[in-house]
Amino acid sequence: MTDAKSRYGAADVRYVAAFQPESAPARLRLALAMADTWWNPPDPERMTVLDIGCGRGLSACLLAAANPGWDVIGLDLQPVHIEEAREVARQGGIDNARFIEADLAELTEVNSPDLLPELDVVICHGVWSWVPDPVRDGIVRMLKSRLKPGGVILLGYNALPGYADTLHFQRLVDEAARSLPGDDAQRGLAAIEAIVALREQAPLYLPEPRVLEHIVNAARNAPAYMVHEWLTSFWRPAYHADVARALVPARLEYGGTARPAGSMPELQLNPEQRAALAAAPAGIARETLLDTFLARRFRTDIFIRGRRPGGRALLGPTMLALTAPADRTKIEIVTPSGTLELKPPQRDALLEALSDGPKTIAELADLPACATLNHIDIALMLVESQAAEPLWRAPRHDPADNARLARCCDSLLRHFAPEASAMRAPIGVPIAAMGSALPVGASELALCGALLSGLPPDPVVLSRHLARPQGDEDARARAETGIAQVLEGLLPTWRAMGILP
Ligand X SMILES: C[S@@+](CC[C@H](N)C(=O)[O-])C[C@H]1O[C@@H](n2cnc3c(N)ncnc32)[C@H](O)[C@@H]1O
Q: How far is the CB of 81 from ligand X (least distance, A)?
A: 5
Q: Which is nearer to ligand X, 9 or 395 (CB)?
A: 9
> Shortest CA distance to 18 belongs to which of 448, 443, 406, 439?
439
Which residues within the stretch 316-335 sit at the binding site for ligand X (CB under 6 A)? none
| Burial class for 177, CB neighbours closer than 10 Å (0-12, 13-18, 19+) | buried
Q: Which is nearer to ligand X, 92 or 126 (CB)?
A: 126
Q: How far is the CB of 127 from ligand X (least distance, A)?
A: 5
What 3-state class would DSSP assign to 49? strand
Spatial distance between the Cα atoms of 213 and 230, rounded to a whole number of angstroms: 15
Binding span for ligand X by CB under 6 A among 7-15, 88-96, 418-426, 483-491 = 7-15
Contact call for residue 402 and ligand X (CB under 6 A):
no
Binding span for ligand X by CB under 6 A among 70-78, 200-208, 337-345, 482-490 = 70-78
The 3-state secondary structure of 339-395 reads EEECCCCHHHHHHHHHHCCCEEHHHHHCCHHHCCCCHHHHHHHHHHCCCEEECCCCC
Decide: 245 and 254 in contact? Cβ < 8 Å: no
Q: How far is the CB of 334 from ligand X (least distance, A)?
A: 24
Q: Which is nearer to ligand X, 54 or 370 (CB)?
A: 54
Binding mask 79-98 for ligand X (x = CB under 6 A): --x-----------------
Binding mask 99-138 for ligand X (x = CB under 6 A): ----xxx-------------------xxx--xx---x---
Contact call for residue 77 and ligand X (CB under 6 A):
yes
Q: Which is nearer to ligand X, 18 or 499 (CB)?
A: 18
Candidate residues 21, 53, 57, 426; the one interacting with ligand X per rule CB under 6 A: 53
**Residue closest to ligand X (Cβ):** 53
Spatial distance between the Cα atoms of 455 and 466, rounded to a whole number of angstroms: 11
Q: How far is the CB of 140 from ligand X (least distance, A)?
A: 13
Reported as half-sphere exposure (CB side, CA atoms, 13 A), residue 233 has a value of: 8
| Burial class for 12, CB neighbours closer than 10 Å (0-12, 13-18, 19+) | middle
Q: Whole-angstrom distance between the N-terminal and C-terminal Cα of the chain?
A: 56
Q: Which is nearer to ligand X, 81 or 307 (CB)?
A: 81
Contacts of 48 (CB under 8 A, 6+ apart): 70, 71, 72, 73, 117, 118, 119, 120, 121
Q: How far is the CB of 57 from ligand X (least distance, A)?
A: 9
Contact call for residue 226 and ligand X (CB under 6 A):
no
Which residues within the stretch 428-487 sit at the binding site for ligand X (CB under 6 A)? none
> Shortest CA distance to 152 belongs to which of 320, 298, 309, 301?
301
Beta-bridge partner residues of 359: 320
Contacting positions for ligand X (CB under 6 A): 7-8, 15, 18, 20, 53-55, 76-78, 81, 103-105, 125-127, 130-131, 135, 228
